[in-house]
Chains A and B, each alone.
Chain A
Amino acid sequence: MSTTSTTTAEIVARCQALFDDLHFTYAREWKAAVPGRIVVGYMPFYVPRELIHAAGGLPLGVLGGGDQLEVIQGDAYYQSYICRIPRSTIELGLTNRLDFVDVMLFPSICDVIRNLSGMWKIMFPKVKSRYFDVPQNYCDDVGGEFYIHELNELRDLLAEASGRPVSDDALRASIALYNENRALVREVYAFRARQPWQAPSAEVYLLMRAGLIVAVEEHNRMLREYLTAAAAEQRPRRDNSRVVVTGAFCEQPPLNLIKSIELAGCYIVDDDFMLVNRWERSDIPLEGDPITNLAAAYLHNSNHTSAKYEPDPEKKGLYLVEAVKRSRAEGVIFASPSFCDPALLERPMLQRVLAAHDIPFIAFKYAENSGQMQPIREQAGTFADSIKLWSNP
């Protein structure tokens, strides 16, 4: 039930507290509240959270340590030319911040996270760790069949961890909840694209990040409350340019970076932060076999990102053009983690497509613990100004 009296400030404060808490108190308390509950950690970019929920588990997004965690031990596991997220994730593990996590999932996004799945098996042998593979072939009888097997193996693993089977009915109920969640997330994104001054990106970011921490039922409430509160409050409208941010689908930018982009004169009207929140583009059907439905949704109705193969060369990169059109953006900011092969190798292809559609762009790199925002603010500011110049010749 939504309480109309909740303000955006209150909701955002709650999200901020969740975001800041690198001991994951919420998840610890959630687990302790009912015997038999499990917590399943997962890394970007996607896992079928419905299965975890149906197994009586809390899916917990593990997105590294951000700029608040001092990485001491994690650095000893990685060379200087590897991105930050694996080292801060190891730090979280070695400092016992994740000691309540029963299962860790490592999706098939890149070689760093892939290899981290094996490191986790060695370093944290009590945790059930699994590399979660997704198909790069999108035919139902080829990639689909493979994926159904993978999903069933994950279902068995979760059942073993929670000590109870995952029934089809429970899975359907979970799919329904996540359908609702994704619909609300899409609504928040659409709301921000319509009135970005009413839903600052740092707020939307924190709200989405909360979705990787709290139970889906609670997140659904939060999203509803936010939509109501954000629509009710009048906030000053700035003459900002409208941009899509892309490339930040794994290691997260510091919150300050998101704020800096807006402060520099760019409203972020779409992004690829935490794609798991809106991976499927429309509802997953509830009728029929739920595992088959999850598989079909991945194959035919999911978002695009660098980790996913695009079989049709004509369509390569068009998702970004569509995002620009859908959100009525005027430009694109490529913000990618340093040393991120998937984001940085994809970038020239996307830039070619944008150039072909006359969409301006800029690019920079960041690390989750970047402190210096001045150069980024300057670059984004110049970009915002040049967009205005182009649009008002």
Chain B
Amino acid sequence: MTNRDAPQVIKDSSMLKQKEMIAGNYAKLEAAPATGQKVVSTFVPGNLNELIMCFDMLNNLPEINALQNGMRKRTGAYIMEAEKRGHSEDVCTYVKADLGMIAKGNLGPDGQKLPDPDLLLLSYTGCFTFMKWFELLRDHYKCETAMLHVPYQGDGKITPNMIAYVVKQLKEEVIPKLEKISGVKFDIDRLREYLARSARAEEDLVWVLETAKSKPSPIDAYFGGVYYIGPIFTAFRGTEDAVEYYRLLRTEITERLARGQGPVTPTGELTEERYRLVVEGPPNWTSFRDFWKMFYEEGAVVVASTYSKVGGLYDLGFRHDPARPLESLAEYCLGCYTNRNLPSRIDLIERYMHEYQADGLVINSIKSCNSFSAGQLLVLREIERRTGKPGAFIESDLVDPRYFSPANIKNRLESYFQMIDQRRAGSRAARAA
């Protein structure tokens, strides 16, 4: 057992702060029909939270609702409901979890009714399914939709043409619709102010994520990382709350680092870091705790993950820039992890493997998600070839409990950890010879 009971896990101020923020946003959303505040539904990758805030609108993220419902084990029933209503068993389960939730009364994760959106802001970044998902929602809500087409980085770079295209859409499609629905006139200085706050929070987030380069790592950049990215990927980027959250988090991690502590897990602090891993792909939400346990019980710490870059990739230097507000929003959308081509994704993982001194790569391949999953077997091969480190491939789903097989995954991980041990023993023997 590598964990020491550490009840401070639930006392961390940053965690409490985040809980409050999320609950506050759901409360505002649920009160929207009464307060008259307008609601935008949008996606996490390429979300334009700062822009939405310029119009005093609330941000509702269907992916986050699905995720939260997944963690509360409600999505299984929602998915079945959607399938009963004619949605194929083959398609993305985030979509079906959302449609099933709507069909069953549209109760949010806290059990209260979510409002109908006034605008569907289709930030079409890094995933084709988004377009169909919002067309399906439009079919249901019959509300206004704004499409923001974010071109894919097919050649692994952002071109001036791509930026110009996104900026033009912001000016001619997105902003006019936000103005029309909210009745608020666009004020670019307000946007600049929010973007400056975003950049401050981003700076702290990157600092926190990069502490995993230390040995031992004071954080888990996947299982813990999904909490750390919560505010910045959702309805809070650009708020003072987010700035404060990341300041608190940074202070907490600074202390952990100074004390040489390992990451906090649900059962306390991980005291012996035995394996340092990079993880590619989203986690499973319906058995999130069980999944995490399979790692921390073995002393495995995730030192870098690609999923924590899905709603914005900041560790290569990008920051929202108040001096170039719309251009910087465009670059943000274009730079999200799944909007990068496969060679760039592989280069990034390779870089993580070296910079974070990882023992190997684990790919959690998600049945639902072609955007992440198509090509992952090549990612695995390439990383093994380039780094000489072993990789593991496991399969599950985001929110469909039918595709989480604990025994299989646990077995696979256990043999993987043994493989890492054998490799280590082998290289020690080779050095000694």
Binding site for B on A (CB under 8 A): 76-79, 81-82, 86, 106, 108-112, 114-119, 121-123, 130-133, 135-137, 139, 141-143, 145-146, 149-150, 153, 306-307, 309-311, 313, 316, 338-342, 344-349, 351-352, 365
Residue of A nearest to B95 (CB): A345
Contact B375 A118 (CB under 8 A): yes
A109–B367 Cα gap in the complex (Å)?
A: 19
B388 interfacial contact with A, CB 8 Å: no
In angstroms, Cα B131 to Cα A81, docked, is 21
Q: Does B374 contact A (CB under 8 A)?
A: yes
Contacts of A135 in B (CB 8 A): 149, 165
Q: Does B66 contact A (CB under 8 A)?
A: no
Q: How far is the CB of B161 from chain A (nearest CB, A)?
A: 4
Provide the bound-state CA to CA distance between A145 and B124, in Å.
18
How many angstroms from the CA of A110 to the CA of B374 in the assembled complex?
Answer: 10
Residue positions of B touching A, CB distance < 8 A: 85-88, 90-92, 95, 124, 127-129, 131-133, 135-136, 138-139, 142, 145, 147, 149, 151-152, 154-155, 159, 161-162, 164-165, 168-169, 172-173, 341-346, 365, 367, 370-371, 373-378, 382, 395
When the two chains form their complex, are residues B370 and A110 in contact, meaning their CB atoms are under 8 A apart? yes
Beyond A133-B154, A338-B90, whether A150 also contacts B149 by CB under 8 A is no
Within the assembled complex, what's the spacing in Å between the Cα atoms of A365 and B91? Answer: 13
| Given A118-B341, A313-B142: A143 touches B135 (CB 8 Å cut-off) | no
Residue among B91, B370, B377, B395 having the largest count of chain A Cβ atoms under 10 Å: B370
Of chain A, the residue at the smallest CB distance from B161 is A149
Docked pose: A348 CA to B89 CA in angstroms: 12
Residue from A79, A310, A338 within 8 A of B365 (CB atoms)? A79
A119 contacts B165, C-beta separation under 8 Å: no
| A116 smallest CB distance to B (angstroms) | 7
A306 vs B375: C-alpha distance when bound (angstroms): 22
Of the A-B pairs whose beta carbons lie under 8 Å apart in the complex, a sample of 27, sorted by A's number, is: A78-B377, A86-B374, A110-B128, A111-B129, A114-B152, A115-B371, A115-B375, A117-B154, A117-B341, A117-B342, A118-B344, A121-B341, A121-B342, A131-B152, A133-B152, A137-B149, A139-B172, A145-B165, A146-B168, A153-B161, A338-B90, A344-B87, A344-B91, A345-B87, A345-B91, A345-B132, A345-B133
A143–B127 alpha-carbon span in the complex (Å): 19
Residue on B nearest A346 in the bound complex, by CB = B132
Q: Closest A-chain residue to B87, C-beta based?
A: A348
Taking the closest CB of chain B, its distance from the CB of A39, in whole angstroms, is 20
A111 in contact with B128 (CB, 8 Å): yes
Among B367, B371, B374, max chain A CB count under 10 A is at B374
Q: Which of B135, B162, B371 has the most CB of A within 10 A?
A: B135
A276–B168 Cα distance when bound, in Å, is 29
What is the bound-complex CA distance between A341 and B129, given in angstroms? 7
Q: Is the CB of B135 within 8 A of A349?
A: yes
On whether the beta carbons of A150 and B161 are closer than 8 Å, the reply is yes
Given contacts A109-B128, A146-B151, A306-B132, 5 further A-B contacts (CB under 8 A): A78-B377, A111-B371, A131-B155, A347-B88, A349-B135
Given A117-B341, A122-B378, A342-B128: A81 in contact with B90 (beta carbons within 8 A): yes
A146 touches B343 (CB 8 A): no
Q: Is the CB of A111 within 8 A of B382?
A: no
Using A112-B370, A352-B139 as known contacts, say yes or no to A119 and B132 having CB atoms under 8 A apart. no
B99 shortest CB reach to chain A, Å = 9
Bound CA span A333–B330, Å: 41
Instruction: Please determine whether A345 and B129 come into contact, CB atoms closer than 8 angstroms.
Output: yes
**Which residues in B have their C-beta under 8 angstroms from that of A342?**
128, 132
Name the residue on B nearest A152 (C-beta). Answer: B161
One of B92, B151, B343, B395 near A118 (C-beta < 8 A): B343
* Closest chain B residue, CB of each to CB of A118: B342
Tell me the nearest residue of chain A to B345, going by C-beta.
Answer: A118
Given known A-B contacts A133-B151, A142-B169, A116 and B374 have beta carbons under 8 A apart: yes
